Structure 1
Amino acid sequence: MTTSTVTTPLHATARELVGTGRGILAADESISTMSKRLEGAGVAPTGTNRRDYRELLVTTPGLADGASGVILCDETLRQSLTDGRPFPVACAELGILPGIKVDTGAKPLAGAPDETVTEGLDGLDDRLAEYAEMGARFAKWRAVLTISGTTPTRWAQAANAHALARYARSCQEAGLVPVVEPEVLMDGAHSLSECASITESTLLSVTRALTAAGVDPAGMVLKPNMVLPGAECPQQSSPAQVARATVEVLRCAVSPRLAGVAFLSGGQSPETATANLAALQELDVSWPLTFSFGRALVSPALEAWGGDPDHVADGQAALAHHVDANAAVLRDDRSSERTG
């Protein structure tokens, strides 16, 4: 795939995801992860309850004002709302681009004790074709890297970058925008500077692999972690410090032609994630910087709903509050001037 300057449908979809003053709602937890979260909220982990919870999210009144897209898992993409509309159809009618998580999870990486590589490339082309036929407009693949005294190794970075690049190329050939998610976890006691160094080397590895695979950066979205000190680090950083460190890494490591960056929340509290996102808007960069938050958006909704049909409106109000708070910081910046 060439990287010409001609605008393509992939470019248009990517810009709609990240360049419209909105973010992406990540509601793509696997069946096992979503079931555990339901149980934690006192809700039976059934397929119906998982469906009801995702329906609560995507039908939140006014969600499209702050969310350009929603990432779903395979189970949800195949389900229908209680009114009979398939999830992809309902999302599109509500003004939200439907997306799909296509990796099959992180598995132990041979030759790298305590490290993983994300799998799911087997049969991916056929699955992408089916998802596109079902109405998906974009896809997501997550790689996971940890910081310790010995990790991540270059081997783990390279293996995950290679898988991300193969996935992204397959997505673009299937007509889906790839959301490329290399996450350096905030678990641990590492410093801000250590996270910056590891995040930069990880993103450089990913960028090299994407270029080698012929992935068009203008038709993809990067979903990285913000540069953060570890959750157990005694010296935490201010939003301004996080923003400066994050932007410095992006400037060094990613293509200026990238459609945009949608940060993951990575276990930050909703308030911290929003504060850091707001600080990022203060810095001048060549890409839209938006959000693709999961737990920071959906956890408050799950807690407020608790599986009670009488509390659906409460769950939706909690989701709307946090989506609106993050979208508001995007609209207060100069991104519209940079992105046209």
Structure 2
Amino acid sequence: MLNFIYLIIFILVLLIISFLVFLSVFHLKIYFNNRKYQALKEKWQPVLFGYLNNEISLNEATASFNKNYKYTWKFIRTYLDNLDGKDFEKLKNLLQASGFIQYYLKKLRTGSNKDKLKAALILGKVRHKKALPYLEEMLKSDSSLKIKTAGQAISQIGETSLVYEIIKAFLTRTEITYEGISQILILYGQKICPRLLLIIEDWLDGEVDIRKEFQTSPYETIALFVELLGHNKYKGALPVLERLLKEVDNDELIIQIFKALSRIKEPVDLDLTPFINHDNWVVRSQTVRYLYKNWESSYSEQLKARISDENWWVSFYSGMALYHNSFKAFLEEVAVSDKPGSEISNYILEAGGQFEHF
């Protein structure tokens, strides 16, 4: 019995020692990898800066980078995020000349699933168009991770012909949220806007069934597109946004449209009275907020009436629109009265109409 206990103790001690050895080796590996990377970084930084400043030729810069692309990726990813224009193209040429891009293009074609995911991420960052056929194929996968990675890479490359396919893949074969989709499609910048407008117009014309195609609520999907149009402050969206306001009766979509219009900051050729007097207070508040951003004097009397709105935000936005558009005297008059709206008028006047984030 005693021998058995000793055996158990011996095995436990052996396991502990083995674990400690493994942990030590693991940390040593990280330590030496970091040392190697820091040494390479100190070597590469002046070379890269010299190359970008036209002090070093492409051939000279290429000769300074070794073939360990793991370290190259770690070094250049921050620059890929922050450089643009000619500097970005120069860095891309350096990566092409060093064999970095070809290496990851091969990984995308023939590597393991893990290799393909990493390669897609990297080739998206460098905006390498020759990766598109393989990314498009990855987009057809049943793997949610592959679809999201491919969609992000295609968005970074900026290939707008695949916008519809990306949205459809995201909505039908992943669990990604609308917010997540938005964060990826934002990478396109304004390039995506004409494609989104085409989808919206096709939907309004009855040429595309969004519920059938994307297996989701058409209003939520169109609201996503409108959000992206607003984020990009795309003035070319105005006619379509006006048409949506005329033809669609969905509160959430209307709210998103006025948020977009507030960012685009252009007047609309549309009577806003139904929205100023809407039953939904969020619609009312976003409409009067839009009028603060894009003042139209023809609505001043309606905004004066809305200063006493039962909802605080509607009252506040109405007051702000009036204050900043030559109706300060009206607020002063209401503030000293016992009329509804006196409290919000005082609040705005005391702050001088200045509020952070407004």
TM-score under structure 2 length normalisation: 0.26
Q: Which one has a bigger Cα radius of gyration?
A: 2
Which structure has more relative contact order (CA 8 Å, sep 6+)? It is 1
The structure in which a higher percent of residues are strand is 1
The structure in which a higher percent of residues are helix is 2
